Every structure is written in structure tokens, then in C-alpha cells.
Amino acid sequence: MRSQEFISEVNFPDELSVSDRIQNYFFDRGYQLAGEGRDQIALLSPRNTILKVLGIGEDEREQIVKNYVKFFVNNQNDPYIPRIYNVGDFEVDGETYFVYEMEYLDYVANEEATLDYLENLMSAVARGRDRVQEFMKNNPAPKELDRDDIVGLVNTTLKLEQALGGQAPLDLSQIENLRRRSDGHLVIMDPYSL
């Protein structure tokens, strides 16, 4: 099947767009659609990594993604940041897209208590450190979440917000923006709502 049968959300009016030409370029080389959002598509590479293609159409929105990817690249020693392998502009038939390749991460799935806790915790993070402390004091973590992991995730999020805050709303209360490595470690995948 071709891209036009799959891609819907990223090419809605007022969203960034990804042309059929670049989609087909990757599909013809063995990549498969792994997901899409309002600003980019994710492709599973033949190497079992994820290639993200940022849509085009609004410079300010494109720059937000470029900024957080740069933050990811500059903080590769942080275990809550995804591993990034390749970053840059990619041209197909006169269209230039920003692309980046990252490690494959699993959904946080079938863990309802964990999902609820993380969604509420990340909502508290968006409202400031005092709210995080209050939330953690009043809400015991599910057994699947180690306190060190919770503190690490919060600290990384606060560091991200300190570096990039104000460019777009933080969007980590949506659980699809957090993932797990195969070893179970939580990772921030897509921090902002554009």
C-alpha cells in the first residue's frame, strides 16, 4: 500500500505536510509507516530504527522540532532522552525536509496504573516544581515505577523546559509521547504540542 492510504493527520489543513514524493522515496527503500502526528511522520527503517520526517509549511513550528531534537542530540548521556543517530536536511525532488533517526522505543502499554500516574505526574510538571512535589507526596507511585526513574524523568523534563520552555506547550501528559526501551527504561520521545 502507498502512503496516501495511510497518512492522514500530518496533512490535515493547518498542519505541517509531508508530500507523497518523500513518503514514496522511503517506502520504495523498505521503510514502513510507524506512526504520524500533527507535525511529522515516523518510519520504521530496515535497520529497526525510527526515521522521523518533519513536515513542511510553517517555519516557526518546524523550528520547535529542530530545537528539541538539538536538545536531544546535546544530551545523549541523559538516559531519559532518545538515542539520536542521524540528523539533517534531506531533499527529494526539490523539497527539503528535516529528518532524524532515533532508537526504536516501545509503547507504555497495558499498565493502567502506570499510565495514569505518569499522565498526572507530567501534568504536574507542566505546572511547576511545587506541583510535582505536592503530587509525589500525595500519590504513591505504582510498583512498576522506581522512584529514581520518576525523579530522573521529572528532572530531565524540567531541564528540557528550562532550555526550551515557552516555545510550545509541554505535552508529556499524553502517554504516547513517553516510551520505553526494551529494558523497560522510560524515555521522552516527543515533548511538545505544536
Q: By percentage, how much of the chain surpasses pLDDT 70? A: 88
How far apart CA 119 and CA 174 sit, in angstroms, is 6
Question: Of 52, 11, 55, 15, which is closest to residue 33 (Cα–Cα)?
Answer: 52
Flag whether pLDDT at 179 surpasses 60: yes
By CB neighbour count within 10 A (0-12 exposed, 13-18 middle, 19+ buried), where does 81 fall? buried
pLDDT at 8: 53
120-138: average pLDDT: 85
For each of the domains in the chain, give its residue range(s) and CATH number, in order of start: 3-104 (3.30.200), 107-188 (no CATH)
95-123: average pLDDT: 85
